[in-house]
Amino acid sequence: MKKIALLLFFGFAILSCNAQKIESSNTSTVTLSESKNPKLVVGIVVDQMRYDYLTRFDSKFGEGGFKRMMNEGFNCKNNHFNYVPTYTGPGHASIFTGTTPKYHGIISNNWYDKETKETVYCAGDEGVVSVGTKSTAGQMSPHRMLTTSFADENRLFTQMRGKTIGVAIKDRGAILPAGHTADAAYWFHGKDEGVWITSTFYQNTLPKWVTKFNESDIAESYLKIWDTYYNIETYIESGDDENNFEGGFKGKEKAIFPYNLAKLKDDNGGFDILKATAYGNSLTTDFAMAAVKGENLGLDTITDVLTLSYSSTDYVGHNFGVNSKEVEDTYIRLDKDLERFFQFLDAEVGVGEYTVFLTADHGAVDVPSYLQSVKIPAGYLDNDSRKEKFMAFLNKKYATKDIVESVSNSQVFLNRKVIDSLGLKLFEVQEDIANEQIKYDNISKVYTAKTLSTASFTTGIEALLQQGFNQKRSGDIIFVNDVAHISYSKTGSTHGSGLNYDTHVPLLFFGKGIKKGETLQKTVIPDIAPTISALLGISFPNGATGMTLEFVLD
C-alpha cells in the first residue's frame, strides 16, 4: 500500500509539474502573441484622393510622408472601389467594415428613407446630444451602419481593453470608421466656435485633453495667409493659377494665390474656411497627435486603433478642381503633415511598433468645363429638363405624378400605396420607368430593383451597381449618367460614379507586420479590413466580403 501511495504521490507531482509547465508555456505564448501585434493601428483616409496624385506630385514630396510609406511599406497600385456610389459616407464605411453598401447599408451621404418618407443623413442621430457645442452639429452616431468595423472586432477581441478613437473634420469621416464600440469620435465644428466636438453616443463631457486643445489658439493660428509652399512657378504638375474652372472664396475676386484667411473668414463661414484649405489637414494632424497622447494610445501590448480622415482635400477639390494649384499645394502640405505625424509616432509609440494604412474614400472627375476645353467628351446634366419630361410622362401614363415619392442619388423611389390603388404591378411600373429614363439625354444605363435583386453580375458597371444596391434602402430604378457628365457647378470637381477617375485610389500599408513591395494586381476597398484583421489575428468584421491581401503581410 505504501508503494502504491508513493507512486500516486509522484504521479500527481509529475502531472502538477507538467501542468505548471503548460500553464507557463500558454502564458508566454499569449505574451508573445500580443508582442507580435502592433501597439497601434492607424487607418488613414484621404478624402477625394485620386491614385495619380501619388505619381503626379511625386517630385514635390519629401522622403518622410507618402514616400516613406511607399519605400518602407507596400504599395497596391491598382486599388479600386468595387461599387457605386463613390461618396464619403459609403467610402469610409466600406474601408473599415470590409464590405459594400449592399451589406453595411450606408448607401450614400444622404438618402431617401422609404419608411419615414424623409431624407436621412448617414451619421445623423436625433437620439443623442451634442457634446462640446450647443449647436446640433454633434447629434451624430454610427447607428445607421448595419455591420461592424475591424475596430469593433478589435474591441471585442481585447475585451474592450484596446481603445478606438476616430478623428476627422467631417463627422461621418470620424464616426463610421471608428464603428459602434469606439471610445470616442471627434469632428470639427467651425462657424464662430472652431472646436472639436463629439456626442453623447460616446460620452457626456469632453475629456480634459480635448477641452485644453479647444481652449488653445491652435485653430485660430491657421487663420493666416495661405500661399504656395514652394514657388508657384515650380508647380508645373497643375494648370494655370488663374482660369475659369475654379470656385474660390467669397470676398476675393479671383481664385488665385495667396488667400488671406483672416480677412476672408467672415464671408466664408468663420472657422469653416479652414476646412477648404490645406491648413484643415494641419489642424487635423495636430488634433490626432493630441488624441494619441491624451488617450495613451499605443503604450501597451494591447492593440489600439486610431481612425484618421483628412477631409480638407475633399473641400479643396470640390472648390478648385482636380487640376488646380490649390489641390497640388494641399497635397504638398499634407505630405509634410504625414511626415511630422509619423515622426511623432516613432517617438511616442516606437519605430516598428505601429502599423498604418492609407487610402481614399473616392477619387474625383476633372472639371468637365476644363475637359471640354481640351476636346474631351464631358458635360453637365440638365436636371430641370429631365424632371419636366419625367413629370409629363407620369401624368400621361398614370394620370398622376404621385406614383413617385423621390428622385435622388440617381434613383427613383416609387409609392407602393399609389401603385396598389391604381391596380398596377410594381415590377411593370419599374420597367416602364426604366424604359422612359433611358431615352433622356446623358443617361447611359438604367436598371430596375428587380434586376439588381435577381440577376448576378460579375463585371462592368452592372456589378458595381449591384454591390452598392441595398434591397431595403435603395430605390426602385437606378440610372447611370454618361462619362464625365455631372450635376454640379461649372467650377470645381465632384465624384460618385463607377468610372476610374472615381474608383482608382491609393492603398499603402507600412509598419509592423507589413512587407516591403508593390503590386499591380487589382485590389478592392473591402480587402483592407480583412487584411488588418488577419494581421491582428482577430475576427473579420461581421459583414466582411473582402479578401485578405496575403502578399502585403510579413
Tens of pLDDT, residue by residue over 348-385, are: 999 999 999 999 999 999 999 999 999 999 999 999 99
Q: Using the predicted structure, report yes or no on whether residue 200 has a pLDDT greater than 70.
A: yes
Non-local CB neighbours of 111 within 8 Å, separated by 6+ positions: 119, 120, 122, 408, 409, 473
Beta 443-448 vs 477-481: how paired, if at all?
antiparallel
Considering the domain architecture, whether residues 92 and 235 belong to the same structural domain is answered as: yes
Q: Taking the alpha carbons of 349, 351, 353, 359 in that order, is the dihedral positive or negative?
A: positive
User: Could you confirm whether 88 is annotated as catalytic?
Assistant: yes
Residue 22 scores a pLDDT above 90: no
Beta strands per DSSP E along 221-344? 225-226, 259-260, 304-310
Question: Considering the domain boundaries, does residue 530 fall inside one?
Answer: yes
> Residue 365's Cα: distance from chain center in Å?
17
Cell reading at 418: 399609389
Residue 26 has pLDDT above 60, yes or no: no
The domain boundary residue, chosen from 481, 508, 534: 481
- Give the CATH number, domain containing residue 450: 3.30.1360.150
The pLDDT tens digits of the residues spanning 386-407 come to 999 999 999 999 999 999 999 9
Clarify whether residues 433 and 522 are in a common domain.
no
- The answer to whether residue 302 sits within a structural domain is yes
Which residues, including other chains, have CB under 8 Å from residue 480's CB and lie 6 or more apart? Answer: 410, 443, 444, 445, 446, 461, 465, 497, 498
**pLDDT over threshold 50, residue 18:** no
Asked if residue 57 lies in contact with residue 506, where contact means CB atoms within 8 angstroms, the answer is no
Q: What is the pLDDT of residue 13?
A: 40
* Residue 282 in domain: yes
Judged against a pLDDT cut of 90, whether residue 7 lies above it is answered with no
What is the DSSP secondary-structure string of 152-183? Answer: HHHHHHTTT-S-EEEEESSHHHHHHHH-SS-S
Q: Does 509 share its domain with 472?
A: no
Phi and psi torsions of 54, nearest 5°: -65, -40
Q: Has residue 32 got a pLDDT over 50?
A: no
Assess whether 172 and 98 both reside in one domain: yes
Please provide residue 479's backbone torsions phi and psi, each rounded to the nearest 5 degrees: -120, 155
Nearest alpha carbon to residue 246 among 305, 170, 326, 167: 326
Identify whether 57 is part of a domain.
Answer: yes
User: Which pLDDT belongs to residue 45?
Assistant: 98
Q: For the chain, give the percent of residues with pLDDT over 70.
A: 94
- 22 in any annotated domain: no
Cα three-residue angle 303-308-311, rounded to 5 degrees: 170
Q: Write out the three cell numbers for 242.
A: 488663374
- Is the distance from CB of 96 to CB of 174 less than 8 angstroms? no
544 and 457 together in one domain: no
Would you say how long the chain is, in residues?
554
Residue 19 falls inside a structural domain: no
Residue tagged active-site, from 29, 31, 88, 133: 88
Mind listing the pLDDT tens digit for each residue in 316-335? 999 999 999 999 999 999 99
Would you state the cell numbers that stand for residue 121, as one nine-digit string? 443623413
Q: Do 233 and 333 belong to one domain?
A: yes
Cβ atoms 496, 87 nearer than 8 A:
yes
**Cβ atoms 337, 466 nearer than 8 A:** no
Least confident of 15-19, 204-208, 387-391: 15-19
C-alpha cell of residue 302: 494591447
3-state secondary structure of 27: helix
CATH code of 513's domain: 3.40.720.10
Place of cell 504521479: 11
Q: Are 531 and 73 in contact (CB under 8 A)?
A: no
| Cα(232)–Cα(472) distance, integer angstroms | 50
CA distances from 211 to 93, 113, 189, 547 (A): 28, 36, 14, 41
**How far is the C-alpha of 275 from the C-alpha of 273, rounded, in Å?**
5
Distance between CA atoms of residues 179 and 169, nearest Å: 17
- Does residue 79 contact residue 507 with C-beta atoms inside 8 Å? yes
Mean pLDDT calculated for residue range 241-266: 98
Domain boundary among 481, 510, 536: 481
Residue 156 in any domain: the answer is yes
Selection from 205, 88, 106, 199 nearest residue 149 by Cα = 106
CA distances from 415 to 26, 113, 420 (A): 61, 12, 9
Q: For residue 294, with 0-12 CB atoms within 10 Å meaning exposed, 13-18 middle and 19 or more buried, which class applies? A: middle
Q: What is the average per-residue pLDDT within 10-38?
A: 44
Q: What is the pLDDT of residue 190?
A: 97
Q: How confident is the model at residue 174 (pLDDT cuts 50, 70, 90)?
A: very high
Residue 478 one-letter amino acid: I
Three-state DSSP class for residue 299: coil
Kindly state whether residue 486 falls inside one of the protein's structural domains: no
Residues 137 and 178 reside in one and the same domain: yes
Whether the Cβ atoms of residue 391 and residue 411 lie closer than 8 Å to each other: no
CA dihedral 230, 231, 234, 237 (to 10 degrees): 60
Q: Of the residues 481, 505, 534, which one is the last residue of a structural domain?
A: 481
Same structural domain, 45 and 159: yes
- State the average pLDDT over residues 260-287: 98
Q: What is the grid cell recorded at 165?
A: 478613437
The C-alpha cell 424623409 sits at 118
DSSP state letters, 498-549: SSHHHHB--EEEEETTB-SEEE-S-EEGGGHHHHHHHHHT-PPPTT------
354-359/40-46 β-pairing: parallel
In the three-class reduction of DSSP (H, G, I as helix; E, B as strand; rest coil), residue 447 is classed as strand
Amino acid identity, position 260: N
Given a cut of 70, whether residue 23 has pLDDT beyond it is no
Non-local (6+) Cβ contacts of 228 within 8 A are 235, 257, 258, 325, 329
438-462: average pLDDT: 96
Domain, as residue range, for 393? 382-441+443-481
Do both 146 and 62 map to the same domain? yes
Q: Based on the structure, what is the number of domains in the chain?
A: 2
One domain for residues 176 and 296: yes
d(Cα 551, Cα 521) in Å, to the nearest integer?
10
Is residue 518 located within the same domain as residue 413?
no
Q: Quick one: pLDDT at residue 19?
A: 40
Residues 160 and 288 in one domain: yes
